[in-house]
Chains A and B, each alone.
Chain A
Amino acid sequence: MASSVSTPISEEHRLPPQEKLSPAAWVRRNLFDSWFSTVLTLVSALVLAWALSIFWNWAFTQANWAVIPANLKIFASGTYPSSQLWRVWVVLGIVLATLGVAAGAWGGVLLQYLIGLGACMGLAALLPLGEQSQWWLAGCAGVTFAAIAISRGRASWRLASILVWALVLPICLELLLGSFTPNLPGVRAEQLSGLLLTLMLAAAALIIAFPIGVLLALGRANHALPVVRIFCTLLIEIIRGVPLTTILFAAWLLVPFFLGGITVNLIIRAEVAFILFTAVYVAEDVRGGLQAVSRGQVEAARAVGLNPFQITALVVLPQALRASVPALVNEFLTLFKDTSLVFIIGMIDLLQAGRVVFTNPNWLGTQKEVLFFIGVVYFICCFAMAYAAKQVEKALGLGKR
């Protein structure tokens, strides 16, 4: 991204010089500035000490951490049959290879993350996780680095690395569920669960909802075609007004009524619910971006003789999308967290897999440990995404003009 080519002027040089404080003076100024500040410091310190002591006491004396390694498979892939796990590894390899190509072509924070991820997997391959997993992990790490090495610096691959996802997604779904030959039975959709399901739902909804959301936003902002505008507005407002739980429930119970005998896999129906729900929120974010594009841009584009389609695609949309990046990232984070609502329709995602573990008679009373672990997994994913988004925002120079 732009950050890798921008001139290496560090923040320090642009800011006014800061005075250097001695540690004692720093403490005085930042903690005991006034009587109010002193009280605040004491109260905060008490709260912190209390919370830490409770956590320490629990984590190192009471908690039964054995529940986490013993159930790693359930967290990661839930009830997915162990004999078929090779499919998951192959899919992981494909996804990592595609990501690796994108990272090599684009560079920036994605490249850093993937190198980090590859390194982690390489290290995990050295742990005693079972002969097979170790080989697969090493293979995935190798594929990642190979993809990065091949595409490094090939800027012409950038666009292709995004478009290829339209192909990768169905291939992955087919690989995870399909039966290729008579003697290789498929996997039932309900067996797709755990973190695998969470990632699958979030990734597919993210990739498909984005273009639909952009179309809806354009439809809503289109003053030339009032019928389309009213339709889009109605759709957006109705779906935004009801909870995701209701939409999922509808996808589960109502959709079969409307399909007239055609049966559609539950996982696809849930996915459609997520896509619809995310798309309308994306539409609102993009609409905000569209409003931020000044009218002069449209007029200028018209003046140089572009037609309405070209004005939208070449002038307005790029600026609008750029302005809506922060809101869009928030939307995708919300989507990632909201995939946990699939429990409504009986699917088992990461959080639900955790509930399965701690209701297991062998692991009764481990709900805190399990929930803590799942919270950490979600936190790392969301925090990493939010951090990446901040880097992208910086590279785009958002909020600085």
Chain B
Amino acid sequence: MTSLSSQPHIQPPWWRDERILKIVLQVAFVIAVLVVFGILTQNLTSSLRRLGITFGFRFLGNSANFGITEGIPYDPSESYLKAFVVGVLNTIWLSSISIVLATVMGMILGVARLSSNWLARQLATIITEIFRNVPVLLIVIFWYQGVILTLPAVRNSYSIGGFFFISQRGINLPSLDPSWWLIPTVVILAGAAWGIRKLLLAHRPDVGSIQRNSLVVLGVLLLAVACWILFPESPLRIDIPVLDRFNFRGGTQLSAEFTAMMLGLVTYTGCYIAEVVRGSFLAVQRGQWEASRAIGLTELGTFQLVIVPQALRIMIPSLNTQYLTLIKNSSLAIAVGFSDLFNISSTIINQSGRSVEMFGIIMATYLSMNLVVSYGMNWINDRVKLVER
């Protein structure tokens, strides 16, 4: 085509000239889009005028007047903006902990599905197939109404080793209570680890890597115990929940709603991640196993040094998609009443009637969260991807 138009002798008529056609088409497209947008904005402004609402974000400063039981301390007299921030933080907290747990679960299930052990393989297959083929909302509701709400009341809660307590109200677990002495402790321990390793490498190069690592860990542990004993205040106190008359004292509590959402997101996304993991390991060519065996690597060494790095490279883009899906699915919290960003926003909309503005904010927030996660995953992807020469 380009060769035709470059010849000045057979200039086609303008309505068949590709360059002009392209411009005409695009101008027409822009005009069509602008007209549609114009009509929509016109309608919006007239509807808002009829309702007597002026567009603006001033209302965010108004007092919210509704309680939120979850997340950072918040008082109903504080502003809508503060309430929204509480929701955003809750969403981030729920998503990040779910992403970590889902990844762990996905890794275990995915590797189990490739295991040479028949029973483990079948078990992992059944679990993934079940959770992948039902709606995530059903899973969340099942955890909430089918499991957690049918657990015993607080007074008869199940205890795991006296540290974790599981009841109708969620999970009570020990919390870590750091003091200012944590900072010197961490510095000392990190320095010690580095120093011991350096010393061993310099003076006893004959010691194998496993023994060397064990010695480093042992030294750090001894120092840590010394820190806990010698410092006037313990650097990191572990606060174990104790059952009081009506509720637990101390520790932290994951509420029933949070636990249900977390379990739902983790089991659903975990099974998808398992498929991603399985696919990536299968995508590593068989020859890679054989070649690393041929150069004398052990089975574990092959897995660690040859297979995992290659599988990781294939895995990361799909993992990114799964993480984004998980963040979006966290908006289902409204079904069990967990105060996430979407739930709180819908309350704000109900109270203030500011649906247009709030939608702008919600969309911007989700989009920016997705951008941050995508950016992080792309950064990791750049680390692990094949360096082409």
- For A31, list chain B residues within 8 Å (CB): 117-119
5 more A-B contacts (CB under 8 A) besides A224-B22, A351-B138?
A48-B119, A243-B366, A341-B332, A368-B146, A371-B145
Chain A to chain B: the 3 pairs with minimum beta-carbon distance, closest first? A260-B43, A243-B328, A30-B118
Shortest Cβ distance from A216 into chain B, in angstroms?
14
Among A242, A302, A358, point to the contact of B367 (Cβ < 8 A): A242
- Whether B48 sits at the interface, judged by CB under 8 Å, is yes
A363 at interface (Cβ–Cβ under 8 A)?
no
Please determine whether A383 and B133 come into contact, CB atoms closer than 8 angstroms: yes
Stretch at the interface among B24-32, B191-199, B216-224, B229-237: B24-32
Contact with A246, one of B129, B366, B370 (Cβ below 8 angstroms) = B366
- Check A375 for interface membership: any CB of B closer than 8 A: yes
Asked if A309 lies at the interface with its beta carbon under 8 angstroms from chain B, I say no
Bound CA–CA A256/B366 (angstroms): 23
B33 is an interface residue with CB less than 8 A from chain A: yes
Interface residues of B in 124-173 (CB under 8 A from A): 129-130, 132-138, 141-142, 145-146, 150
Interfacial chain A residues near B117, Cβ < 8 Å: 30-31, 33, 37, 40-41, 44
Q: List 30 A-B contacts (CB under 8 A).
A: A224-B22, A225-B25, A228-B29, A231-B29, A231-B33, A241-B324, A241-B367, A243-B328, A243-B331, A243-B366, A244-B328, A245-B334, A246-B342, A257-B47, A257-B48, A258-B40, A258-B43, A258-B47, A302-B1, A333-B133, A337-B136, A340-B137, A344-B334, A351-B141, A368-B142, A371-B141, A374-B138, A379-B134, A382-B133, A383-B129
Residues of chain B with a CB closer than 8 A to A243's CB: 328-329, 331, 342, 366
B123 contacts the other chain (CB 8 A):
yes
Min CB distance B30 to A, Å, is 6
Chain A count of residues within 8 A CB distance of the other chain:
54
Instruction: Choose, from B70-78, B249-257, B354-362, the stretch at the interface.
Output: B354-362
Cβ of A30 and Cβ of B116 under 8 Å apart? Answer: yes
Task: Name the contact of A257 in the complex, choosing from B26, B44, B129 (C-beta under 8 A).
Answer: B44
Residues of A within 8 A of B22 (CB): 224-225
Q: Decide if B312 is an interface residue (CB 8 Å cutoff).
A: no
Determine whether B210 belongs to the interface, using a CB cutoff of 8 Å to chain A.
Answer: no
B346: Cβ under 8 A from any A Cβ: yes
Cβ contacts under 8 Å, B6 to chain A? none
- Chain B residue numbers with a CB within 8 Å of A48 are 119, 123
Which residues of A302-351 are within 8 A (CB) of B? 302, 333, 337-338, 340-341, 343-344, 351
1/0 contact string of A240-255 vs chain B (CB within 8 Å): 0111111001100110
Which residues of chain B come closer than 8 Å to A379, judged between CB atoms? 130, 133-134
Q: Mark B343-382, 1 if CB is under 8 A from A, else 0.
A: 0001001000001100100110011001100000000000
Is the Cβ of B134 less than 8 Å from the Cβ of A253?
Answer: no
Binary contact track B98-134/A, C-beta < 8 Å → 1, others 0: 0000000000000000011111100100000110111
Contact of A259 among B43, B141, B342 (CB under 8 A): B43
Contacts of A340 in B (CB 8 A): 135, 137-138
Residues of A360-385 contacting chain B, CB below 8 A: 367-368, 371, 374-375, 378-379, 382-383
Evaluate whether A227 and B26 lie within 8 angstroms (CB atoms) in the complex, with A44-B123, A243-B366, A382-B134 already known. yes
A242–B366 CB distance below 8 A: yes
The residues of B that contact A155 with a CB separation of less than 8 Å are none
B7 / chain A contacts, CB cutoff of 8 Å: none
Q: Does B211 contact A (CB under 8 A)?
A: no
Q: Once the chains bind, are A249 and B346 in contact (CB under 8 Å)?
A: yes
- Measured between beta carbons, the chain A residues less than 8 angstroms from B332 are 245, 341
In the complex, residue of chain A having the shortest beta-carbon distance to the beta carbon of B1: A302
> Interface residue count for B (Cβ, 8 Å)?
55
Which residues from B are CB-within-8-Å of A152? none
Q: How far is the CA of A383 from the CA of B324 in the complex (A)?
A: 24
Alpha-carbon distance A231/B33, docked complex (angstroms): 9
**Which B residues lie within 8 Å of A351 (CB)?**
135, 137-138, 141
B46 within 8 A of A: yes
**Cβ-defined partner of B362 (8 Å) among A246, A260, A341:** A246
- A97 vs chain B, min Cβ distance (A): 28
Could you say which of A45, A246, A386 has the most chain B C-beta atoms within 10 Å of its C-beta? Answer: A246
Q: Is the CB of A40 within 8 A of B367?
A: no
Give CA–CA (A228, B356) in the complex, Å: 27
Q: Of all chain B residues, which has the CB nearest A245? A: B331
Name A334's closest neighbour in chain B (CB-CB). B325
A48 to B363, CA, bound (A): 43
A109 → B minimal CB distance (Å) = 17
- Are A227 and B29 in contact, CB atoms less than 8 angstroms apart? yes
| Nearest CB on A from B284, distance (A) | 16
Bound form: Cα–Cα A151–B273 in Å: 43
Q: How far is the CA of A386 from the CA of B328 in the complex (A)?
A: 24
Taking the closest CB of chain A, its distance from the CB of B184, in whole angstroms, is 41
**A224–B324 CA distance with the chains assembled, in angstroms:** 31
B238 within 8 Å of A (CB atoms): no
Instruction: Decide yes or no whether A47 CB sits under 8 A from chain B.
Output: yes
Q: Which residues of A have CB within 8 Å of B356? A: 254, 257
Is B335's beta carbon under 8 Å from chain A?
yes
Kindly report which residue of chain A lies nearest to residue B115, judged by CB atoms.
A40
Shortest Cβ gap from A120 to chain B (Å): 20
What residue in chain B is nearest A338 (Cβ atoms)? B135
Q: Are B47 and A256 in contact (CB under 8 A)?
A: yes
Cβ 8 A contact of B363, one of A246, A341, A382: A246
**Among candidates B39, B46, B119, residue contacting A41 with C-beta atoms closer than 8 Å:** B119
> Are B362 and A242 touching (Cβ within 8 A)?
yes
A238 touches B (CB below 8 Å): yes
Please report the C-alpha to C-alpha distance between residue A257 and residue B353 in the assembled complex, in whole angstroms.
Answer: 12
Residues in chain A near residue B362, CB distance under 8 A = 242, 246
Q: Does B304 sit at the interface, judged by CB under 8 A?
A: no
Q: Are B119 and A337 in contact (CB under 8 A)?
A: no
| Chain A residues positioned under 8 Å from B123 (CB to CB) | 44, 47-48
- A355 within 8 A of partner (CB): yes
A368 to B150, CA, bound (A): 10
- Are B116's CB and A37's CB within 8 A? yes
Whether, in the assembled complex, B42 has its beta carbon less than 8 Å from a beta carbon of chain A, the answer is yes
Q: Which residues of B contact A185 (CB under 8 A)?
A: none
Q: Is B47 within 8 A of A371, CB to CB?
A: no
Q: Are A225 and B146 in contact (CB under 8 A)?
A: no
Residues of A within 8 A of B335 (CB): 343
Contact (A260, B42) CB under 8 Å given A225-B29, A344-B334: yes
For residue A226, CB closer than 8 A to chain B, the reply is yes
Distance to closest chain B CB from A287 (angstroms): 14
Complex Cα–Cα for A378 and B132 (A): 10
Residues of A within 8 A of B1 (CB): 302
